[in-house]
Amino acid sequence: MKITVLDGYGLNPGDLSWERIEALGDLTVYPRTADEDFDRHAAGADILLTNKTILTAERIARLPRLKYIGVLATGYNVVDTEAARRRGIPVCNIPAYSTPSVAQSAFALLLAITNRVEHYAAENRQGRWSRNPDFCYWDTPLTELAGKTMGIVGMGHTGTATARIALAFGMKVLAFTSKSQSQLGDDIRKATLDELFATCDVVSLHCPLTPDTRHLANRRTLALMKPGSILLNTGRGPLVDEQAVAEALASRALGAYGADVMETEPPAADTPLLAAPNAFLTPHIAWATREARLRLMDTCADNLRAFLDGKPQNVVNK
């Protein structure tokens, strides 16, 4: 079996091993695949593994030997799954590998906003504390999370893990979810989307990107939020209308925005959020802890072994 990884650098820039996958076939790993290189890189592959390289119906049709597509991520919108299904090609993803890491990242963003550790560490490297006439100083608002209310949109694996952390911080938790109140338990209260935006001190987005959730955070829903509220997005970039968020930050209607994802990645240099006040942005790294990437690599190998044994798992296009 010829196995080709189209864009392996994001998963493994050199600190992990491909050996479990290499043991299953003739492996070729490309760091990246530009559009003009796709046909050359994918030619002759029986198995394609992709993270962000797009597999359209047209591209799949040009690969007569292709028997399996593995997505090196949870989301699989980069693959035309229906075109693959018509060819009898299973598309397998990696579910829930990054749940602890993404929930941790949501709170890393929140704590960056409420405690501003990076700001004070940078000031102190420049000698500010040493020059200070008093034993302490602060020039940003410092906020205690205990007693505040976090609203979570989407209570899948990551939303649920984020809720647990919020509860551990002494926060109240509201959830907009298809789950029933009995499924949420006593510590989390089910709410409508408008109620969640209007009443919560922090709103954290963890839902899938669908036509219904695209720009879920928009001018109307942002206008519902209390002055000084915080919006977090570690889900998908297009869950928010970035122009509306930038405007809300500029007018101080929104207290802060913390996000690990953007509508376009990498973002254009003139993307409004990059220069917006109180926008705390990380470059899509919530998933990228070594622990999460090891789980991803192991599940990818497990998926591939299951396929070769005639029992494919984590198939998203049955």
pLDDT digits (tens, 9 = 90+) for 31-76: 999 999 999 999 999 999 999 999 999 999 999 999 999 999 998 9
CATH superfamily of 2-97+290-308: NAD(P)-binding Rossmann-like Domain (3.40.50.720)
Q: Can you say whether residue 185 is alpha, beta or left, with left for phi > 0 and alpha for psi between -120 and 50 degrees?
A: left
Q: How much is the average pLDDT of 210-235? A: 97
Using 50, 70 and 90 to split pLDDT, how confident is the model at 312? very high
CATH code of 99-281, in short, is 3.40.50.720
Q: Are 163 and 175 in contact (CB under 8 A)?
A: yes
The pLDDT value given to residue 311: 97
Which one from 20, 32, 284, 305 is the annotated catalytic residue? 284
Using 50, 70 and 90 to split pLDDT, how confident is the model at 135? very high
Q: How much is the average pLDDT of 119-145? A: 97
Whether 87 is catalytic: no
Q: How much is the average pLDDT of 281-294? A: 98
Q: Are 189 and 173 in contact (CB under 8 A)?
A: yes
φ and ψ at 205, to 5 degrees?
A: -100, 125
- List, as one string, the DSSP characters of 225-281: SPTT-EEEE-S-GGGB-HHHHHHHHHTTSS-EEEES--SSSSPPTT-HHHHSTTEEE
Closest CA to 90 of 51, 49, 62, 53: 49
Using 50, 70 and 90 to split pLDDT, how confident is the model at 11? very high
The pLDDT value given to residue 82: 97
Using 50, 70 and 90 to split pLDDT, how confident is the model at 251? very high
Domain boundaries, the chain: 2-97+290-308, 99-281
Using 50, 70 and 90 to split pLDDT, how confident is the model at 299? very high
Q: How much is the average pLDDT of 223-246? A: 97
Whether 284 is catalytic: yes
The pLDDT value given to residue 238: 96
Q: Please give the Cα distance from 163 to 174 (Å, whole number).
A: 9
**What does each C-alpha distance from 140 to 23, 86, 125, 232, 249 come to in angstroms?**
54, 57, 17, 19, 16
The pLDDT value given to residue 117: 97
Which one from 220, 265, 290, 291 is the annotated catalytic residue? 265
Round the average pLDDT of the chain to a whole number and report it: 97
Which one from 236, 242, 293, 295 is the annotated catalytic residue? 236
The pLDDT value given to residue 173: 98
The answer to whether 2-97+290-308 and 99-281 have equal CATH topology is yes
Using 50, 70 and 90 to split pLDDT, how confident is the model at 141? very high
